[in-house]
């Protein structure tokens, strides 16, 4: 992972959820913006891995439960 304080903080937390993964992808979009191909797709394996994780959350609809819990103001680390 690139040296980024926010990514370190998120990865060091004991709880990593969908929203933390989204934050990591947003940070990686900025830190690895030079690693795009001509079509705008990221060449970075890190970015691909985190996008797969987010895709799995969406495929299994787990993110909907997490969104509901977050709306109910249940505290999360992220």
Closest Cα partner for 28 from 3, 9, 57? Answer: 3
Number of compact structural domains in the chain: 1
**Residue range of the domain that includes 25:** 5-71
- The more confidently predicted of residues 6 and 69 is 6
Domain membership of residue 76 (yes or no) is no
> Is the pTM for the entire model greater than 0.85?
no
- The more confidently predicted of residues 76 and 36 is 36
Domain membership of residue 78 (yes or no) is no
Domain membership of residue 77 (yes or no) is no
Residue 54 and residue 25 in contact, taking contact as beta carbons nearer than 8 Å: yes
pLDDT digits (tens, 9 = 90+) for 15-72: 888 889 999 999 998 888 777 777 667 778 888 899 998 998 888 787 787 777 777 7
Domain membership of residue 16 (yes or no) is yes
Residue-level pLDDT at 45: 87
């Amino acid at each position: 992972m690139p040296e980024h304080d926010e990514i370190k903080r998120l990865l060091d937390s004991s709880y990593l959820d969908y929203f933390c993964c989204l934050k990591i992808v947003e940070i990686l979009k900025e830190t690895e913006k030079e690693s795009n191909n001509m079509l705008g797709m990221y060449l970075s394996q890190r970015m691909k891995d985190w996008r797969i994780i987010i895709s799995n959350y969406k495929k299994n609809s787990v993110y909907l439960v997490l969104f509901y819990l977050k709306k109910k103001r249940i505290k999360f680390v992220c």
